[in-house]
Amino acid sequence: MSTLHAPAATTAQAPQQAAPQAATPANLATPNAPKGIDPRAPQVNAIITALVLVAILVTPTPVALALTALQTLLFANGAIRGVQRTPHAWFFKRFVKPRLAPPTELEAPEPPRFAQAVGLVFTAVALVGYATGVLLLGQVAIGFALVAATLNAVFRFCLGCELFLLVKRAAATRIA
Protein backbone atom coordinates (compact mmCIF):
# COMPACT_ATOMS: atom_id res chain seq x y z
CA MET A 1 0.00 0.00 0.00
CA SER A 2 1.26 3.44 -0.86
CA THR A 3 1.91 6.08 1.78
CA LEU A 4 -0.02 8.91 0.23
CA HIS A 5 -1.89 10.33 3.17
CA ALA A 6 -1.62 13.59 5.04
CA PRO A 7 -2.66 13.78 8.70
CA ALA A 8 -6.35 14.43 9.28
CA ALA A 9 -5.59 17.57 11.26
CA THR A 10 -2.58 19.57 12.26
CA THR A 11 -2.04 21.27 15.57
CA ALA A 12 -0.23 24.51 16.27
CA GLN A 13 2.99 23.96 18.17
CA ALA A 14 5.69 26.20 19.52
CA PRO A 15 8.54 26.66 17.06
CA GLN A 16 10.93 23.79 17.45
CA GLN A 17 13.13 21.60 15.34
CA ALA A 18 10.80 19.28 13.43
CA ALA A 19 11.80 15.70 12.89
CA PRO A 20 12.50 14.97 9.23
CA GLN A 21 9.53 13.44 7.44
CA ALA A 22 9.65 10.82 4.76
CA ALA A 23 8.95 12.33 1.36
CA THR A 24 5.47 11.36 0.30
CA PRO A 25 3.17 12.85 -2.32
CA ALA A 26 1.04 14.19 0.52
CA ASN A 27 3.72 16.17 2.30
CA LEU A 28 5.58 17.22 -0.85
CA ALA A 29 2.40 18.63 -2.34
CA THR A 30 1.03 20.42 0.68
CA PRO A 31 3.53 20.39 3.55
CA ASN A 32 1.46 22.57 5.92
CA ALA A 33 -2.06 22.03 4.62
CA PRO A 34 -4.56 20.77 7.18
CA LYS A 35 -7.18 19.95 4.53
CA GLY A 36 -7.31 17.16 2.03
CA ILE A 37 -9.62 14.65 0.45
CA ASP A 38 -11.06 11.43 1.75
CA PRO A 39 -8.57 8.80 0.50
CA ARG A 40 -11.42 6.42 -0.27
CA ALA A 41 -12.84 8.77 -2.92
CA PRO A 42 -10.05 8.14 -5.47
CA GLN A 43 -10.49 4.41 -4.89
CA VAL A 44 -14.20 4.66 -5.73
CA ASN A 45 -13.24 6.74 -8.76
CA ALA A 46 -10.81 4.00 -9.80
CA ILE A 47 -13.51 1.33 -9.47
CA ILE A 48 -15.86 3.27 -11.74
CA THR A 49 -13.04 4.06 -14.16
CA ALA A 50 -11.95 0.41 -14.32
CA LEU A 51 -15.50 -0.63 -15.17
CA VAL A 52 -15.67 1.94 -17.98
CA LEU A 53 -12.27 0.84 -19.30
CA VAL A 54 -13.34 -2.82 -19.32
CA ALA A 55 -16.49 -1.81 -21.19
CA ILE A 56 -14.32 -0.02 -23.76
CA LEU A 57 -12.28 -3.16 -24.37
CA VAL A 58 -15.28 -5.49 -24.79
CA THR A 59 -17.60 -3.34 -26.90
CA PRO A 60 -17.67 -2.73 -30.67
CA THR A 61 -15.50 0.10 -31.97
CA PRO A 62 -18.19 2.83 -32.28
CA VAL A 63 -19.24 2.25 -28.66
CA ALA A 64 -15.61 1.98 -27.56
CA LEU A 65 -14.89 5.28 -29.30
CA ALA A 66 -17.78 7.01 -27.51
CA LEU A 67 -16.84 5.54 -24.12
CA THR A 68 -13.19 6.50 -24.66
CA ALA A 69 -14.25 10.06 -25.47
CA LEU A 70 -16.36 10.13 -22.30
CA GLN A 71 -13.54 8.78 -20.13
CA THR A 72 -11.11 11.25 -21.72
CA LEU A 73 -13.46 14.10 -20.74
CA LEU A 74 -13.75 12.72 -17.21
CA PHE A 75 -9.96 12.52 -16.85
CA ALA A 76 -9.61 16.04 -18.29
CA ASN A 77 -12.14 17.33 -15.77
CA GLY A 78 -10.25 15.72 -12.89
CA ALA A 79 -6.88 16.97 -14.13
CA ILE A 80 -8.06 20.53 -14.78
CA ARG A 81 -10.66 21.21 -12.09
CA GLY A 82 -9.33 18.81 -9.45
CA VAL A 83 -10.51 15.45 -8.21
CA GLN A 84 -12.88 17.11 -5.72
CA ARG A 85 -14.96 18.56 -8.59
CA THR A 86 -15.67 15.50 -10.69
CA PRO A 87 -18.87 13.52 -11.22
CA HIS A 88 -17.17 10.63 -9.41
CA ALA A 89 -16.49 12.86 -6.39
CA TRP A 90 -20.13 13.95 -6.36
CA PHE A 91 -21.22 10.30 -6.49
CA PHE A 92 -18.84 9.45 -3.63
CA LYS A 93 -20.01 12.37 -1.47
CA ARG A 94 -23.70 11.76 -2.18
CA PHE A 95 -23.99 7.97 -2.03
CA VAL A 96 -20.85 6.34 -0.59
CA LYS A 97 -19.38 8.63 2.06
CA PRO A 98 -22.59 8.87 4.16
CA ARG A 99 -22.44 5.08 4.64
CA LEU A 100 -18.81 5.06 5.82
CA ALA A 101 -17.11 6.01 9.06
CA PRO A 102 -15.17 9.27 8.87
CA PRO A 103 -11.69 8.84 7.38
CA THR A 104 -8.84 8.49 9.86
CA GLU A 105 -6.61 10.63 7.67
CA LEU A 106 -6.90 12.83 4.63
CA GLU A 107 -4.98 12.74 1.37
CA ALA A 108 -3.49 15.68 -0.48
CA PRO A 109 -5.49 16.21 -3.68
CA GLU A 110 -2.47 16.93 -5.88
CA PRO A 111 -1.26 13.33 -6.39
CA PRO A 112 -4.69 12.02 -7.50
CA ARG A 113 -5.08 15.09 -9.71
CA PHE A 114 -1.75 14.28 -11.36
CA ALA A 115 -2.93 10.68 -11.76
CA GLN A 116 -5.99 12.01 -13.60
CA ALA A 117 -3.63 13.82 -15.99
CA VAL A 118 -1.73 10.57 -16.60
CA GLY A 119 -5.03 8.81 -17.30
CA LEU A 120 -5.92 11.65 -19.65
CA VAL A 121 -2.77 11.02 -21.68
CA PHE A 122 -3.54 7.31 -22.03
CA THR A 123 -7.18 7.81 -22.99
CA ALA A 124 -6.26 10.62 -25.42
CA VAL A 125 -3.85 8.22 -27.15
CA ALA A 126 -6.57 5.57 -27.16
CA LEU A 127 -9.06 8.06 -28.57
CA VAL A 128 -6.70 8.82 -31.45
CA GLY A 129 -6.23 5.09 -32.02
CA TYR A 130 -9.94 4.32 -32.09
CA ALA A 131 -10.78 7.41 -34.18
CA THR A 132 -8.15 6.62 -36.83
CA GLY A 133 -8.83 2.90 -36.99
CA VAL A 134 -5.59 1.90 -35.26
CA LEU A 135 -7.48 -0.32 -32.84
CA LEU A 136 -4.40 -1.95 -31.35
CA LEU A 137 -3.10 1.46 -30.26
CA GLY A 138 -6.43 2.24 -28.62
CA GLN A 139 -6.66 -1.13 -26.92
CA VAL A 140 -3.09 -1.05 -25.60
CA ALA A 141 -3.49 2.49 -24.23
CA ILE A 142 -6.79 1.52 -22.56
CA GLY A 143 -5.08 -1.61 -21.23
CA PHE A 144 -2.37 0.46 -19.54
CA ALA A 145 -4.99 2.76 -18.01
CA LEU A 146 -6.97 -0.29 -16.88
CA VAL A 147 -3.95 -1.76 -15.09
CA ALA A 148 -3.42 1.51 -13.21
CA ALA A 149 -7.11 1.88 -12.34
CA THR A 150 -7.35 -1.73 -11.19
CA LEU A 151 -4.31 -1.38 -8.91
CA ASN A 152 -5.92 1.64 -7.29
CA ALA A 153 -9.39 0.07 -7.13
CA VAL A 154 -8.25 -3.22 -5.61
CA PHE A 155 -5.12 -2.37 -3.62
CA ARG A 156 -5.39 1.42 -3.22
CA PHE A 157 -2.03 1.67 -4.95
CA CYS A 158 -2.04 4.71 -7.22
CA LEU A 159 0.58 4.52 -9.97
CA GLY A 160 -0.06 8.10 -11.03
CA CYS A 161 0.38 9.25 -7.43
CA GLU A 162 3.68 7.40 -7.21
CA LEU A 163 4.75 9.01 -10.49
CA PHE A 164 3.85 12.37 -8.93
CA LEU A 165 6.21 11.56 -6.06
CA LEU A 166 9.03 10.68 -8.46
CA VAL A 167 8.53 13.91 -10.41
CA LYS A 168 8.56 15.95 -7.19
CA ARG A 169 11.72 14.22 -5.97
CA ALA A 170 13.42 14.78 -9.32
CA ALA A 171 12.45 18.45 -9.27
CA ALA A 172 13.70 18.84 -5.70
CA THR A 173 16.98 17.15 -6.61
CA ARG A 174 17.44 19.35 -9.66
CA ILE A 175 16.86 22.51 -7.59
CA ALA A 176 19.22 21.42 -4.80
Structural domain count, the chain: 1
| Mean pLDDT across 56-84 | 98
| Residue 15 resides in a domain | no
Which residues have CB under 8 Å from 32's CB, separation 6+? Answer: 10
144 or 35, which is more confident? 144
In a domain, 22, yes or no: no
In-domain check, residue 8: no
Q: Supply the range of the domain harboring residue 153.
A: 38-175
Question: What is the mean predicted confidence (pLDDT) over 34-54?
Answer: 95
- Distance, in Å, from the CA atom of 85 to the CA atom of 81, rounded to the nearest integer, reads 6
Give the residue with greater pLDDT, 12 vs 131.
131
> Could you tell me the CA-to-CA distances from 145 to 53, 93, 105, 117 in Å, in that order?
8, 24, 27, 11
Q: How far apart are the first and last CA of the chain?
A: 29
pLDDT recorded at residue 31? 52
Neighbours of 63 (CB within 10 A): 12
Mean pLDDT of 43-64: 98
The answer to whether residue 117 is domain-embedded is yes
Alpha-carbon span 32 to 151, nearest angstrom: 29
Evaluated on CA atoms 71, 76, 79, 81, the torsion sign reads negative
Q: In this structure, is residue 101 part of a structural domain?
A: yes
The partner residues of 5 in beta bridges, in order of sequence, read: 107
* pLDDT, mean over the chain: 87
Residue 115 domain-assigned (yes or no): yes
Q: Which of 21-25, 98-102, 103-107 has the lowest mean pLDDT?
A: 21-25
Answer whether residue 69 is part of any domain.
Answer: yes
Question: Residue 100: inside a domain, yes or no?
Answer: yes
Mean pLDDT for the stretch of residues 167-176: 90
Say what the pLDDT of residue 35 is.
84
What is the mean pLDDT of the segment spanning 84-108? 97
